[in-house]
Amino acid sequence: MNIQSRLPTTPDEFLRWNEGREGKREFVNGKVVEMMINVTRNHARIATNTLVALARRLDLARFDVGSADFGVRTPDGIRYPDVYVDHKTDASRGDDLAATEPVMLVEILSSSSYGRDFVEKLADYSKVASLRHYLILSQDDPRAWLWSRGDSSEWTGPKEIVGADEKVELQALAIALDMSELFAGIGH
């Protein structure tokens, strides 16, 4: 007897279907998309450095900061950015499977993700009404690309930021991140 589970067709179905499954996948345009699960040491370190830097600077009573294990709803479905900042609202609950009001999303480049991060995810993320910053970080050297949106719906960017002595200015969050901190311990 061959038993197959029905694949999800909505973001809510996907979140419940995906819960507890091994591997990494996203739900994009009604389809389950398998994602890379093995990352380099540099990728993992930059994600951790970024998460810690954000958590140190933000008021954690107002914001949640987390990693790729937590979903973000987008117009195209459900994504799992490398790092996210979610504004806590009255609707936020401990058993949520996705952010309720993401204000910042971060992706760390890998050799296979350039097109997805710079084109597909940029287009999808930019349609998230609450989002104010989208940051892409290189995994090889202190280099970043930042898109920002103020109170209007207009996006600016990308602003390319290069060098360990530079800062990533996140005006909507009223903080700045030191590139030296984000890229601490990165080897070749």
Sequence spans of domains, the chain:
39-182
Residue 169, CB half-sphere, CA atoms under 13 Å: how many? 9
What does the mean pLDDT of the chain come to? Answer: 89
Is 106 within 8 Å of 145 (Cβ atoms)?
no
Out of 3.40.50.1700, 1.20.1250.20, 3.40.50.300, 3.90.1570.10, select the CATH number for domain 39-182: 3.90.1570.10
Check pLDDT > 60 for residue 4.
no
Return the closest-CA partner of residue 70 out of 79, 61, 62, 59.
79
The owner of tokens 């380099």 is 40
pLDDT on residue 44: 92
pLDDT on residue 1: 46
pLDDT on residue 164: 96
Amino acid at 183: F
Check pLDDT > 60 for residue 100.
yes
pLDDT on residue 149: 95
Return the closest-CA partner of residue 147 out of 182, 105, 90.
105
Which of 145 and 40 is assigned the larger pLDDT? 145
Residue 129, CB half-sphere, CA atoms under 13 Å: how many? 2
pLDDT on residue 130: 95
pLDDT on residue 2: 47
Q: Give me the residues paired with residue 178 across strands.
A: 167
Among 53-57, 75-79, 151-155, the minimum mean pLDDT is found in: 151-155
> Mean of the pLDDT values across residues 17-45?
82
Return the closest-CA partner of residue 133 out of 97, 174, 90, 99.
174
Q: Kindly report the CA angle at 80 between 76 and 82, in degrees rounded to 5?
A: 135
Calculated CA dihedral for residues 108, 114, 117, 118, nearest 10 degrees: 120
